[in-house]
């Protein structure tokens, strides 16, 4: 047992200046209970802190995805509702999406113009990206049947860039080979005139813009989901467990009794 002194009033006038105490007895069980209560309080605080931190991390992942993928309106609304701040001005998303849209519809000159207005150093410091944009301009001329203009453009704009880069020369030669085919859509080089080629160029440019803004080139969320899928596939070989079946809703299934949770 543990004894704790407790003050009590004294009837003696001679002892009025010195308080007297009686002792309250706390049993070992009660003492242990109080300690456990304090321990639970601390654990609750840690749990709350952990939940808040996890929620904050999740919100940052969502914001990261919205910004990189270019969902400005959604990012703006999410920022207001969750209080999660974006590390970049959300208005720059509009510029990136305008650039991506221009490249994807084949208006390479417009895309380059917007990039230079946004940050001219992006293309000045990335010769490979600039070459690929000019290469895409050449492809667009060939697709439109402007063959004489395409040849002149290749000689004046692309050939000088190939003088010190053999890889650029190989890519230019491959692109110019489109000129020998009557139907470029059925040629062995049809991948160059496919919409996926525009998408590839747009993605390369988008990544360069993000890097210039000190952003990730790719959103983190898909990578984490791929890691989760891989981890579950590893567990599948070893045991039954509550497995996440729907990454969108967070629904998972307890494999031991096939109950959805």
Query: Using an 8 Å Cβ cutoff, are 217 and 69 in contact?
Result: no
What tokens were used for 180?
Answer: 């020998």
Q: Which of 30, 28, 26 is nearest to 6 (CA)?
A: 26
For the stretch 183-230, pLDDT in tens is 999 999 999 999 999 999 999 999 999 999 888 888 888 888 888 888
| pLDDT attached to residue 59 | 85
Using 70 as the pLDDT threshold, list the residues of the chain that sit under it.
1-26, 31, 35, 39-53, 55, 254-261
| pLDDT attached to residue 156 | 96
| pLDDT attached to residue 48 | 47
Please count the residues of the chain: 261
| pLDDT attached to residue 162 | 95
Question: What is the distance between the alpha carbons of residues 56 and 79, in angstroms, rounded to a whole number?
Answer: 12
Q: Which of 153, 181, 154 is nearest to 169 (CA)?
A: 154
| pLDDT attached to residue 13 | 46
| pLDDT attached to residue 91 | 82
| pLDDT attached to residue 25 | 63
Q: How far is CA 253 from CA 158, 188, 241, 260, in A?
A: 57, 47, 8, 5
Query: Could you give the count of Cα atoms lying within 13 Å of 174 in the half-sphere of its Cβ?
Result: 15
| pLDDT attached to residue 173 | 97
Query: Using an 8 Å Cβ cutoff, are 212 and 119 in contact?
Result: yes
| pLDDT attached to residue 26 | 60
Average of per-residue pLDDT values in the chain: 82
Task: Kindly report the pTM of this predicted structure.
Answer: 0.65
């Amino acid at each position: 047992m543990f004894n704790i002194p407790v003050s009590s009033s004294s009837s003696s006038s001679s002892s009025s200046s010195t308080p007297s105490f009686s002792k309250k007895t706390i049993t070992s069980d009660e003492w242990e209970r109080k300690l456990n209560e304090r321990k639970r309080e601390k654990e609750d605080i840690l749990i709350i802190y952990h939940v808040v931190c996890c929620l904050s991390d999740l919100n940052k992942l969502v914001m990261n995805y919205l910004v990189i993928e270019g969902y400005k309106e959604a990012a703006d609304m999410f920022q207001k509702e969750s209080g999660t701040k974006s590390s970049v001005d959300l208005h720059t998303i509009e510029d990136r999406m305008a650039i991506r849209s221009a490249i994807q519809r084949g208006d390479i000159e417009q895309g380059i113009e917007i990039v230079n207005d946004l940050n001219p150093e992006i293309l000045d410091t990335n010769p490979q990206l600039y070459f690929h944009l000019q290469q895409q301009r050449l492809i667009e001329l060939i697709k439109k049947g402007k063959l004489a203009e395409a040849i002149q453009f290749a000689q004046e704009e692309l050939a000088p860039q190939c003088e010190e880069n053999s890889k650029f020369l190989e890519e230019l030669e491959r692109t110019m080979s489109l000129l020998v085919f009557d139907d470029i859509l059925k040629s062995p080089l049809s991948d160059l005139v496919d919409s996926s080629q525009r998408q590839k160029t747009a993605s390369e440019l988008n990544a360069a813009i993000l890097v210039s803004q000190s952003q990730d080139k790719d959103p983190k969320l898909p990578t984490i989901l791929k890691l989760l899928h891989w981890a579950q596939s590893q567990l599948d070989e070893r045991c039954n467990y509550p497995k996440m079946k729907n990454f969108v809703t967070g629904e998972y299934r307890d494999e031991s009794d096939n109950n959805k949770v």
